[in-house]
Structure 1
């Protein structure tokens, strides 16, 4: 499946939502990308994993780690397809038995490739990277499905993580416009939103320290 076909199928499956939508921390967005629905569409999940594998083949890595929760299925499929070990980061440290924050087998200084669904401010991915590094793993790259082009990739680059994405927001809306799924007006609205809503290091600090 080509990236153009994948973009259209994601829209048709309901992974792309349009409207005045409340996103994380109460922010509003005209374009919401929800990859959790893809678990009900195995052929799309496989296509995403295969495209991410193309990106990851150019990156030296020993293990994979998906950012919980939306990216976990993609990391799992990539792990099986490429016979690459995977670890999982818990949302919180286990409070009994092993009391682990990471599940799976790994060794210090191994190169860990992070898998993420969407990068906006970069806060969620940066939080996972910080945990992995605290546990002794080396993290220099992340592969993601969508870069919303709102500053997250630059923030991550400043923290030593290069982001490689299947789609930028601009690329995806252009694919959907060319396929007749959205209008030129919607493309302009999304483009204006990207320009007006940019994130930086201060935003990521606030996101990482915000109460749950």
Structure 2
């Protein structure tokens, strides 16, 4: 689907987001990831997702990846917080409003003692999409899927800004959750290069 954001269509938005991600979120150099693996680059999506233009672009492009039937979006704090907020806001502007929820790392120690915040905006069985900034092995997403299902919601999609293509997509697929992404590393670098060449 093509749509306007000022003068930008979806393809132009993707190119602009790639340029922003490379400027604000992508750092070459050896690092140790959360999974314990070594990598020759680090990707901190929050730097772009918390920037106004980045939030708008990510919100629109993630929204475009959501399958029919999705009624809300959520993800694990802290990486998914700006993503679910951006998509929820964009969904309202684009006429398909979707509430958002946040999955806590630990259950609330008082009150309802729940893992999910925002659950009162959903009904049992509602089909939701889980959003993630970057997927490596998919380990965090497995935990999120379990918590969301335990709360009575159905996971209808898993969507990320960057798929590192290091096993996470395959692991999710084995559980019946295909991974949708705006970029892989190769696609991110290619899109940013195309943007700079225009």
Bin of the TM-score, shorter chain as denominator length: 0.7 to 0.9
Measure how far apart 1:27 and its partner are.
2.3
Aligned to 2:182: 166
1:67-121 CA-partner distances (Å, limit 9, x unpaired)? 2211211111211221211121111001112211111212221111111111110
Classify 1:85/1:114 alpha carbon distance in 2 versus 1 (closer, same or farther; 3 Å). Answer: same
Say yes or no: does 1:60 pair with 2:64: no
**TM alignment of 1:119-158, pairs within 5 A:** 119-158=135-174
Q: How does the TM-score come out when normalised to structure 2?
A: 0.83
CA deviations on 1:40-88 (whole Å, 9 max, x unpaired) are 41111111111111111x3321221122211211111211221211121
From 33, 39, 45, the counterpart of 2:43: 33
> 1:52-201 to 2 correspondence within 5 Å?
52-56=62-66, 58-82=67-91, 83-104=97-118, 105=120, 106-177=122-193
**After superposition, what is the alpha-carbon deviation per residue over 1:133-186, rounded to whole angstroms, capped at 9, x for unaligned?**
1122111311110111111111101112121100012211233455679xxxxx
Cα-Cα RMSD? 1.9
Aligned to 1:206: none
**41-50 or 19-28: bigger deviation:** 19-28
The number of residues matched between the two structures is: 179
In structure 1, distance between residues paired with 2:174 and 2:35: 23
**Relative contact order higher in (CA < 8 Å, ≥ 6 apart):** 2
- Structure 2, gaps ≥5 residues long: 1-11, 92-96
Q: Which range is displaced more, 58-67 or 140-149?
A: 58-67
TM-score scaled by length of structure 1: 0.78
Structure 1 stretches of 5 or more lacking a match?
182-212
- CA drift of 1:129 comes to 0.7
Measured in 2, the distance between the counterparts of 1:86 and 1:52 equals: 13
In structure 1, the residue matched to 2:13 is 2
SS at match of 2:179: strand
| Structure 2 CA distance for aligned equivalents of residues 27 and 121 of structure 1 | 9
